[in-house]
């Protein structure tokens, strides 16, 4: 089984690149939620309407639905969304799985919680600005954003961009959001050693406590 970064193929750069990952075993596609998000969701921190951005095959959106939240997952990969919908049917869970490029997306509703597992860290500087604009349009007052990304503590430069606490803080502060939590966490992978990750929780202005 491969267990080193050297066996990681080229960094995906576009939704089309990601689609091809889902033809085989994508290294991030665990077939279950990341442990850090499983405990966060089960502890009730992501209440209200829930969006899993760059949801892949949907494990976090599916868990949110299992916990009773109105859950939406969006991904640009048609293959990933097809797999996510199949899981929802098999598990008899009600999740709205949408195939869309979120950098060019205006959803009809606003969300109380946004979960981002491995989406933001793949964005270019330009696309981070585009995502900031999209997020302003889809976040409800007091929306909470839960993000797991590769951290600058992760060695090498293969795979996604590494993020520092400061650049994450700058990005959220630019939006006018407050960082309520940041900590080093494991980013689990298939066929690779776990990556050094950063968990960030940020909150939009407008409401101090999460919705019921």
Ligand X SMILES: C[S@@+](CC[C@H](N)C(=O)[O-])C[C@H]1O[C@@H](n2cnc3c(N)ncnc32)[C@H](O)[C@@H]1O
Question: In the complex, which residues of this chain contact ligand X (CB under 6 A)?
Answer: 15, 18, 28-29, 54-56, 74-77, 80, 101-103, 117-119, 122
| 187 and 29 Cβ atoms separated by less than 8 Å | no
Nearer to ligand X, 114 or 140 (CB): 114
Q: Which is nearer to ligand X, 42 or 207 (CB)?
A: 42
Q: Which CB atom, from 74 or from 140, has the smaller least distance to ligand X? A: 74
CA angle 188/104/37 to nearest 5° reads 20
Q: Which residue has the tokens 């949110």?
A: 64
CB of 177 to ligand X, least distance (A): 20
Q: How far is the CB of 18 from ligand X (least distance, A)?
A: 3
Nearer to ligand X, 102 or 204 (CB): 102
How far apart are CB 12 and ligand X at their closest, in Å?
A: 7
Angle at CA of residue 117, ends 4 and 120, nearest 5°: 95
- What's 100's DSSP letter? -
Handedness of CA 126, 136, 159, 199 (dihedral sign): positive
Angle 161-54-66 from CA coordinates, rounded to 5°: 130
**Tally of CA atoms within 13 A in the half-sphere of 77 that contains its CB:** 27
Least distance between ligand X and beta carbon 126 (Å):
12
């Amino acid at each position: 089984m491969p267990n080193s970064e050297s066996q990681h193929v080229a960094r995906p750069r576009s939704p089309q690149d990601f689609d091809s990952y889902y033809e085989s075993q994508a290294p991030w596609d665990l077939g279950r939620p990341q442990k850090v998000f499983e405990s966060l969701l089960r502890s009730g921190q992501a209440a209200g309407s829930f969006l899993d951005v760059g949801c892949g095959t949907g494990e976090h959106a599916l868990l949110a639905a299992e916990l009773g939240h109105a859950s939406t997952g969006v991904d640009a990969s048609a293959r990933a969304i097809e797999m996510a919908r199949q899981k929802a049917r098999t598990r008899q869970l009600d999740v709205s799985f949408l195939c869309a490029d979120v950098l060019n997306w205006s959803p009809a509703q606003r969300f109380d919680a946004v979960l981002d597992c491995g989406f933001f860290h793949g964005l270019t500087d330009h696309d981070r600005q585009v995502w900031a604009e999209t997020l302003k349009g889809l976040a409800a007052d007091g929306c909470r954003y839960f993000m797991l990304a590769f951290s600058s503590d992760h060695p090498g430069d293969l795979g996604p961009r590494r993020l520092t606490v400061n650049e994450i803080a700058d990005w959220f502060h630019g939006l006018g959001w407050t960082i309520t939590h940041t900590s080093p966490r494991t980013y689990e992978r298939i066929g690779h050693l776990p990556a050094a990750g950063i968990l960030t929780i940020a909150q939009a202005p407008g409401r101090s406590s999460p919705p019921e």
